[in-house]
Amino acid sequence: MSSAPAPTRHHAPGVRASLALLVIACILPVAVVTAFLIVHFYQRERAQLIDHTISRARAIIAATDRDIASTQLALQMLSTSTMLLKQDLRGFHQRATGLVDQLGADSIVLLDTDGTLLLSTRRPYGAPLARLGRAPLLQRILASGRPGVSDMFIGPLNGRPIFSVGVPVRRAGATVMTLNAIFTPQRLQHVLSEQKLPANWRASVLDTEGRVATRSRELDTYAGRQVSAALRQQLASASESGLATRSLDGQDVYLVYSRSTRTGWSAVLGIPSEELTASLYRTLAWLVSVTLAALGAGLALAWLLGGRIADSVQALVAPARAVGAGASLAIPPLHFREANELGHALRDAALSVRQARADMRESEQRLALAANAAHLGIWTRELSDSRIWCSEQWRALFGFAPEQQLSLADLLAKVHPDDRAAVRDTLNHTQHGAPRYDMEYRLLLAGGEQRWIGSHGSIEHDAQGRPLRVRGVSLDITQRKQAELEVQQKQKEVTHLARVAMLGELSGALAHELNQPLTAILSNAQAARRFLARPAPDLAEVAEILDDIVDEDKRAGDIIERLRRLFGKQDMPRQPVDAGALVDGVIRLVRNDLIHHGLTVRTELGEQALTLSADPVQLQQVLINLLMNACDAQAAPQLSDGVIVLRCARDGDAVLFSVIDHGPGIVQETLPRIFDPFFTTKTRGMGLGLSICRSIAGAHHGTLWAHNNPDGGASFHLRLPLAEAAP
Ligand code: ADP
């Protein structure tokens, strides 16, 4: 029987899928780590760029501060002009006009403390001038007495956004006027261009209110425009910082600024967001491309290699199956050394299997030949499902068709109804313990034919000791059984013939056997008559004598019945017989004879109750015969002490009855013949008693023998099996 095949993993991945997984497992982590490093590097780069940009913003605002400061210095020098001291405003106008270009200003104006325009280089001297009013810068200069710079405002003369740098004009320590240089946004553009910023960057200088004082791009459009409130709030909260926002021209930028502590103005640089992230995206795109390319190449390789491995393995599947089936192999050359080695191993295995199968076939043939020659049917019965495998010989034996599926029920159905229960019991018993069994039973075949089967089975166990199956052989023992039955029949007939042959002689035996009870009845009757003839007869004694007469009469009837059976062919009925009770009964029956002979019997019984399976009257007959012979032997009282011993004891699995007398013993030469029929040394003897006794002992599977006692007299022993040991 082969062991159960290992369960197949239906969802196990193929070689290609496994290799593809391997490729992915190798490449993806590398790609992820690289992406992480790239992002990390990008963040560092970005931080550096922002730091660098903040430095540039700082440089721009510093340049702006310097510009304003140098303007203020020039204005302060102009404010100390003697022409102004001498109220020579014409000359001062001329001087100031000369300075306008040097300062790169739009104009220079002189205001009194009320904000009245006293002079403007934009107007010819003496032309009427507007009153500007007390602008915030004027107020600041008057309040602090220090130079200042205005926020962006719309110029009253040119209507365009401008800013002004102003200084106080002092007379005797008091500010009496302010001298201002008016600048257009273009004036500061150089502080941006000097930084040589990338063309797509946004750069601006904002006043304290977040209005554009100058700008690198589209200055005309955005000059004086105020940036968003969010940005203004950010500008107010920290002197330097960066934030992602949208520029005035709608560009997404990362904005970096630096605020001047002197003027409160800020330089703002906007790096287009896309520029900031472009390199990252480019690098990441590169990484993705490389990863995809590596994955593609790896997967293609995995596909190719996986296919080759799968092909090699697949190419070995059919040969491996062929090994199991014992067929020959054709293994093509394979792609891999290991696969080729496996192919060689399979080829070797196939050779071994073929050889083993051939050996097995041969041994099976030998076994089948032997089984056929011996008319043996071979079978195996699985205990799990009662399936039966059997040889053709067995099928023929049991009368099953060659292809018929067989079960235990089919088998039992064939068994003779009288034997079926016993067969079922034996089979069940085997299943539950006994390692092997032998049984004989009959089959009832179609047409009523009976066939005797001898079956030998032995059980096989698994590793845990659980019964697995029973194997065995069955053979037709009908001839042997018939021969046995014939022998038994013949024996019966022989016995019968022997008995018939003996019938003539045994009629004498009948007289012999009946002689004893009849004699006893006669002597009892005579005794009764004597008792009754007395003048005062003892009626109790008479009644006892009459009871004895009745017992003797019954025994005579029994003897006749037993002899009738003995001469007929019936088997004697057996019944449990207590050995002690048997001895007591015998003593009661022979008591009168003994008294008559002046003898006594000493019984020696063991304490243990011993039970025989026997015909009690026949055993009585034997013991009475032996006691009567002992009685005859001790008839001359001078020869003995007048005591006969009747002993009953256990002897192994048997009961041993012994009758021991103290007579003259048996003449040594006659000892071998005393059990022969008609051997007697007595003048009135028949010589049948011991012969009948021995045949009764034999019928009870017992033995009867005699020997002389060392101290005189003879002993007769009857050994009978105990009931439990009796066959
Ligand atoms: P019968 O009593 O009619 O002679 P048996 O078959 O009973 O026939 O006995 C055969 C012979 O065995 C006897 O004749 C006798 O010689 C001898 N025999 C039997 N029992 C005893 C005994 N207890 N002592 C001596 N001899 C005996």
Ligand 1 centroid – CA 681 distance (Å): 7
CA distance 184 to 171: 30
Phi, psi dihedrals of residue 361, rounded to the nearest 5°: -60, -40
CA distance 334 to 572: 88
* Ligand 1 pocket list (CB less than 6 A): 629-630, 633, 661, 663, 665-666, 674, 679-682, 685-691, 714
Candidate of 632, 660, 669 to mutate for ligand 1, largest count of ligand atoms within 8 Å of Cβ: 632
Ligand 1 centroid – CA 659 distance (Å): 13
CA distance 691 to 680: 11
Residues ≥6 apart with Cβ < 8 Å to 719: 651, 654, 655, 656, 657, 697, 702, 703, 704
Return the DSSP state at 669: G
The single-letter code of the amino acid at 627 is: L
Is the separation of the CB atoms in 253 and 273 below 8 Å? yes
Q: Which atom of ligand 1 is nearest to the CA of 659?
A: 23
Angle subtended by helix axes 579-597 and 539-567, to nearest 10 = 120
Nearest CA to ligand 1 atom 7: 689
Ligand 1 centroid – CA 723 distance (Å): 30
Candidate of 626, 681, 717 to mutate for ligand 1, largest count of ligand atoms within 8 Å of Cβ: 681
Ligand 1 centroid – CA 622 distance (Å): 13
Q: Which atom of ligand 1 is nearest to the CA of 674?
A: 12
Candidate of 629, 670, 715 to mutate for ligand 1, largest count of ligand atoms within 8 Å of Cβ: 629
Confidence (pLDDT) at 4: 44
Confidence (pLDDT) at 192: 93
Candidate of 643, 680, 686, 694 to mutate for ligand 1, largest count of ligand atoms within 8 Å of Cβ: 680
Ligand 1 centroid – CA 560 distance (Å): 22
Confidence (pLDDT) at 225: 93
CA distance 670 to 663: 16
Confidence (pLDDT) at 1: 39
Q: Which atom of ligand 1 is nearest to the CA of 680?
A: 14
Residues ≥6 apart with Cβ < 8 Å to 168: 79, 141, 142, 145, 146, 147, 175, 177, 178, 179
CA distance 702 to 657: 11
Q: Which atom of ligand 1 is nearest to the CA of 713?
A: 24
Ligand 1 centroid – CA 575 distance (Å): 30
Q: What is the value of pTM for the model shown?
A: 0.47
Closest alpha carbon to 266 in 192, 200, 337 = 192
Give the CATH fold of the 374-476 domain.
Answer: Beta-Lactamase (3.30.450)
Query: Residue 25 has which token pair?
Result: 């497992």
47-275 has which CATH code? 3.30.450.20
Ligand 1 centroid – CA 680 distance (Å): 6
Q: Which residues pair with 266 in a beta bridge?
A: 206, 259
Asked whether the CA dihedral 584, 585, 589, 590 is positive or negative, the reply is negative
Q: What is the pLDDT of residues 335-393, one digit of tens each?
A: 888 888 888 888 888 888 888 888 888 888 888 788 777 778 888 888 887 788 888 88
In the chain, count H helices and then E strands. Answer: 17, 24
Ligand 1 centroid – CA 670 distance (Å): 10
Candidate of 666, 715, 717 to mutate for ligand 1, largest count of ligand atoms within 8 Å of Cβ: 666
Give me the average pLDDT of each 10-residue run along the chain (727 residues): 48 85 90 89 88 93 94 93 89 93 92 90 87 87 94 87 94 91 93 91 94 93 92 92 90 93 94 85 87 91 89 85 76 84 85 85 83 82 82 87 85 90 81 76 87 89 84 88 75 54 59 77 88 85 88 82 62 84 88 79 89 89 90 73 90 95 92 90 85 88 95 95 76
Give the CATH fold of the 571-727 domain.
Answer: Heat Shock Protein 90 (3.30.565)
Q: Which atom of ligand 1 is nearest to the CA of 690?
A: 6
Ligand 1 centroid – CA 414 distance (Å): 58
Q: Which atom of ligand 1 is nearest to the CA of 670?
A: 16
Closest alpha carbon to 693 in 726, 718, 725 = 718
Nearest CA to ligand 1 atom 19: 629
Is the separation of the CB atoms in 657 and 668 below 8 Å? no
Confidence (pLDDT) at 182: 94
Ligand 1 centroid – CA 665 distance (Å): 10
Nearest CA to ligand 1 atom 11: 680
Confidence (pLDDT) at 221: 92
Burial class of residue 369, CB neighbours in 10 A (0-12, 13-18, 19+): exposed
CA distance 64 to 365: 117
Ligand 1 centroid – CA 598 distance (Å): 19
**CA distance between the termini of the chain:** 43
Ligand 1 centroid – CA 508 distance (Å): 16
Q: In the chain, where are the structural domains located? A: 1-36+285-373, 47-275, 374-476, 489-570, 571-727
Candidate of 634, 658, 690, 693 to mutate for ligand 1, largest count of ligand atoms within 8 Å of Cβ: 690
CA distance 435 to 458: 6
Ligand 1 centroid – CA 639 distance (Å): 16
Domain 47-275 identical in fold to domain 571-727: no
Distances in Å between the Cα of 635 and the Cα atoms of 262, 395, 501 are: 172, 73, 34
Confidence (pLDDT) at 503: 57
Angle subtended by helix axes 478-533 and 616-633, to nearest 10 = 60
Residues ≥6 apart with Cβ < 8 Å to 491: none
The C-alpha angle with vertex 200 and arms to 198 and 201, in degrees rounded to 5, equals: 70
Confidence (pLDDT) at 3: 42
